[in-house]
Structure 1
């Protein structure tokens, strides 16, 4: 028989918006139920409204942890990628979102944390401690992260260079990173619009990549970002 140990919640001393913003936030029963209801309704709505065309679904890992990375043109992107994953994983799938967009106001932060299960990260100048906490959570708790390495939505629909933060998360680890390309999201829901248009979108999923061979330093991080960007560009060309 295993010894019983007390493991207090990592966010037990945090309240309100600070808890929503925390990278050590834990999920309670109420949030889990809300998320289940949301995804039970949202998946059929996405299928009707956007009729997603999915290529390469067989490349999605069958077990956690892993990371999905993609181009980023719309608020629709994270929702579409999360919809690919089992509802039973709803408390383990974390879209990584800009803290200055989704976590500035109490109501927006509560929605992002409770319904979307988003993790807040600084868009610019993320602290080493923040990235290390995310890396620890990814590997220790076997989570799934959805990350947009460009750092912000494109205002033109064109893809920008991937930043090195993704490399800092996975260098010298065996965590799979799955490149994805989203097509049509910019037309369906571009920045500045309040609601999406009923247009079909496409999701292309590539084979998982691992980066155990990459050095955990600036050169390694930059190399990972470039390799992942090249994989997404290849998917766009298919």
Structure 2
């Protein structure tokens, strides 16, 4: 019920303010497991994705978003929960494994799982090297990967700025990618890299971003 209310209210608000243009939504199957994999430039990416896709999109988020105290903490917990976020302690030693297993469970339930292969937001608007968790998920579950691109969201919520701004937004989905030819090879690091790079190549084509063959976390540290 909370998701329906959130989507109805914020969906109407965002359609009025941003008039988001959606391309290729028909590539998302109406049932069965689907992995949505795209670029990540700003905090509001997941919000636009959740409000635009008809099916509920579940994604991983930091558990600190839902563990706050007081009224603000409760409101944040409700908001992120209603928008489809599954809290995971990604900073712990087993954070990556927990996130992977959570995604696998969602897909095995026949649901939609959203993931940003870069692993973090882009520090400068360019597209960075993808991490192979996306490849492990599709090979372990057989779920197709639908690449997508968020275009213009970095202008809605510029890095370091507070309130969102009004700017045109386009969400573009590509055709599903089928990696069944690699079935049973989810432990082969060369296969994992090849699958991940194919997904990122499609995201780059859809977004028009400049590609950087470096992990975004390394770029941020530098």
TM-score class, shorter: 0.7 to 0.9
How do residues 214-229 of structure 1 correspond to structure 2 at under 5 angstroms? 214=182, 215-217=185-187, 218-229=189-200
- Assess if the C-alpha contact under 8 Å between 1:171 and 1:220 holds in 2: no
Using the TM superposition, give the Cα deviation of residue 186 of structure 1 relative to its aligned residue in structure 2, in angstroms. 0.6
Corresponding residue for 1:196? 164
Q: How big is the shift at 1:60?
A: 1.8
Mapping of 1:1-238 within 5 angstroms? 33-86=1-54, 89-90=55-56, 93-99=57-63, 102-103=65-66, 105-106=68-69, 107=73, 110-111=77-78, 113-121=80-88, 122=90, 126-128=95-97, 130-139=99-108, 141-214=109-182, 215-217=185-187, 218-237=189-208
Aligned length: 200
**Cα-to-partner distance string for 1:148-198 (whole Å, 9 max, x where unaligned):** 111111121111111111111111542111100111111111222222101
Partner secondary structure for residue 127 of structure 2: coil
SS at match of 1:95: strand
Q: Partners in 1 of 2:144 and 2:91 — Cα distance?
A: 23
Post-superposition CA distance 1:88-140 (Å, at most 9, x none): x44xx21222345x34535276235432220234168634354234313311x
The answer (yes or no) to whether the contact 1:153–1:191 under 8 Å persists in 2 is no
Q: Indicate conservation of the 8 Å contact 2:104/2:140, yes or no.
A: no
1:226, CA displacement in angstroms?
0.6
> Would you say the 8 A contact 2:117–2:133 is kept in 1?
yes
Q: CA RMSD in A?
A: 2.3
TM-score (norm 1): 0.75
Q: Structure 1 residues 112 and 216, CA, compared in 2 at 3 Å: closer, same or farther?
A: farther
Q: Which runs of 4+ in 1 moved over 6 A?
A: none
Counterpart CA distance in 2 for 1:123 and 1:228 is 25
- The alpha-carbon distance between structure 1 residues 57 and 193, as it changes in their structure 2 partners (threshold 3 A), is same
Contact 1:99-1:123 within 8 A present in 2 as well = no
| Whole-Å separation in 1 of the counterparts to 2:122 and 2:199 | 17
Aligned CA distance change for structure 1 residues 112 and 40 (closer, same or farther; 3 Å): closer
- In structure 1, the gaps of 5 or more residues are 1-32
Aligned to 1:22: none
Match of 1:21 in 2: none
- Normalized per residue, the structure richer in helix is 2
